[in-house]
Structure 1
Amino acid sequence: MIGSGTSFPQRGLRRAHRVLCRTLPNHRGINYLLALPQFWHGNKRLPRRDNDPSASLNDFIFRRMIQDDWSPLQRACVDKEHVKEIVLQKVPQVKVARTVAVLPLAATTTAQDVMAFLTPFLGQRLVVKPTHSCGVILYLDRPLAEQNLGAFVQFSKRNFFHAARETQYDGLEKKLIVEENIAPASGLNDYKFTCANGHILHGRMDVGRFTARHQRALFTVPAFDIIPVRYGGLEIPAAIEKPPHFAEMVEIAEALSRGFDFVRVDLYDTPDGVYFGELTFTPCAGSTSYSDERLPIDLARRLRAIAATAPVVPANQPG
């Protein structure tokens, strides 16, 4: 992604960038150049080296996403079908959305093929989403025509690696997963915990998501105090309410992050308990801005300190 302008030169640059992302191979130097425009757009600077005292968490994320040195376990955790089994082996008490069906996607899969696959599930409180990417979801208790099934299928057939050169997505099997909709009628509260090998660096809570009044708060753990730094340009709410299952979420996030040098653990607090969302190894491709860069610089420092005192044991198996 190159900027957000709409002038002819900018549109041409964005189209050329998309073509290059789809055609050039997965190589560290190429990944650096193709991921650089998005990093620059979010951070307004070039990436810094790891040994730079002013290197931030976004620099760490950028470096690791272009290197393509993921373990088999990390790659398996990116797959939204397989990660459920891994999570339940690690933390049996966490809830996961029940998988109903899975459809492998091929280059020749059409919207009609997907409609035929989904027909038995229409009208039920289920959702369908790709297992190998993020950002799109269909609700099967709503009319599919209104949700644009064709665009959904087209998006789902893409190699998500091409979007921002996040190398853990390259080569993932493309599938659609149908699973239960865990959201209550009152809405779903999701919490994201930025972690390093069993240590939580901070949490994140979104208020009014998918509305014009969307606000976001970063908070400390375990105190649950708002960190006065905007993330992604969103305003900070005046106050946030500690979720009912907060202590349990902290324990789950700590447990799920052990063995990983860095991971964001996404959880949902529901009336039925804590549900697992996903594990994210390169949040926002390191391109989401902080209103005060002293925070991500401090997070990178803490990350290095944790790695020095508690080295991560390489994980060579997917489960």
Structure 2
Amino acid sequence: MPLIRRIKDFAKSTLPDSIFLSLLHRKYVGRFPNLRRPTTFNEKILRRSMDPDPRYVPLTDKLAVRSYVSEKLAQKYLVPLIAAPVAFTRAAFDALPASFVMKANHGSSFVEVVRDKSQTSFERLQHLTEQWLQTDFYKVSRERHYSKIRPRIFFEQLLLDERGKLPPDYKVHCFRRGNAQPVMYISVISDRFGDTTRGDIFDVGWNRLDFVIGYYSPSEEPPGAPPNLAAILDTAKTLSEGFDYVRVDLYAPGDNIYFGELTFTPGAGVLPFVPDRIDYEWGRLLRE
């Protein structure tokens, strides 16, 4: 790593969380956040990143959360777990099936899709494993609940749809006010690990909404509603019980519904909205 880069990284690591996050928010959202009296969605997410609910730790841990999902729903909603080895050894690699997904439990984007094991190698995956396990995800985005998760590697069954492609990722944003019915929006990420990744936002009636979250461009032709849309929404509703806001990620290949993850601080509170007014509108929905 070049010396200047190391100096910059060290300087950033010494900043207090509030300053680090404020600078990050300014860079990606375009303004400094009001952390004393937050009004936007991103500002409120930043606040909870710095003062997280203790429940976030086990429910953000992608291995530990499986118990919660099994208790709230049923085992069938979990992507079949192939292995969660204490150490990734040659023997662990040899025991893996021809296709699988390798993940780490302690952060975002630790995902490696392996469609054909013969096209990769133990050495390559071992190197990737070491990189992931050595990453303190708290230091990446200062979401404090991640600092309490012990890093682990695990392997899940590779899910494919009827076309042999990865199924869309349904990210259901669930806002709750007490015992009232949740307000839900569905962010659909298509072809996530391909060359034409797209992101579309829908309401519960599957009307595409004219705004963008994050960095994925919308599809030219919006994807059709999944046949099990009602079941997807019911699943998200059940898993979001007891929280004023949580994003519930689901997959729905065929007639099945599989759990992906729970996210309480999406985008680490520095997620751009286009148009910007949606950041304020969602901020009014999130009443902590």
TM-score range, shorter chain: 0.7 to 0.9
In 2, Cα distance between the equivalents of 1:117 and 1:32? 44
Residues 206-261 of structure 1, C-alpha deviations (whole Å, 9 max, x = no match) = 2333334322111112x111110122243322322101211001001111111112
2:101 is aligned to: 127
Equivalent position to 1:175, from 152, 171, 189: 152
2:258 — aligned with what? Answer: 275
Q: 1:196 maps to what in 2?
A: 175
| 1:19 maps to 2:2 | no
Which residue of 131, 150, 156 maps to 1:154?
A: 131
Matched residue type, 2:159: I
User: Equivalences for 1:302-317 in 2 at 5 Å?
Assistant: 302-304=285-287
Q: Is the Cα–Cα contact under 8 Å of residues 249 and 260 in structure 2 kept in the other structure?
A: yes
Q: What is the CA-CA distance between 1:49 and the residue it aligns to? A: 4.1
Q: 1:177 to 1:93 in 2, by over 3 A?
A: closer
> What is the RMSD computed on CA atoms of the aligned residues?
2.5
Distance 1:292 1:21, change over 3 A: same
Q: Provide the residue aligned with 2:230 in structure 1.
A: 247
Q: Are residues 16 and 166 of structure 1, via their aligned partners in 2, closer, same or farther at CA, if it must alter by over 3 Å?
A: farther
Distance apart, 1:114 and its partner CA = 2.0
* 2:22 is equivalent to residue 36 of structure 1: yes
AA paired with 2:65? V
Select 1:65's aligned residue among 40, 49, 61.
49
Aligned counterparts of 1:93 and 1:200: Cα–Cα separation in 2 = 26
Q: How many residues align?
A: 277
Q: 2:56 — aligned with what?
A: 74
CA distance in 2, matches of 1:232, 1:100: 32
Partner of 1:294 in structure 2? 277
- Tell me the residue number matched to 1:3: none
TM-score (norm 2): 0.86
Instruction: Give CA deviations for 1:24-45 in whole Å, capped at 9, x if unaligned.
Output: 5xxxx81111223322221011
Q: CA deviation at 1:187?
A: 2.2
Instruction: Verify the 8 A CA contact 2:69 2:75 in the aligned structure 1.
Output: no
TM-score for both structures, normalised by structure 1: 0.78
**Equivalent residue letter for 1:153:** E
Work out whether residues 187 and 202 of structure 2, in 8 Å CA contact, stay in contact via their aligned partners in 1: yes
Q: Tell me, which stretches of 5 or more residues in structure 1 are unaligned?
A: 1-7, 105-112, 308-319
Distance 1:258 1:207 in 2: 27
Whether the 8 Å contact between 2:60 and 2:263 is mirrored in structure 1 is yes
- Secondary structure at the aligned position of 1:103 is classed as coil
Partner Cα distance (1:233, 1:80) in 2: 24
1:63 to 1:40, Cα distance in 2 relative to 1, 3 A: same
168 and 293 in structure 1: CA distance in 2 versus 1, 3 angstrom threshold: same
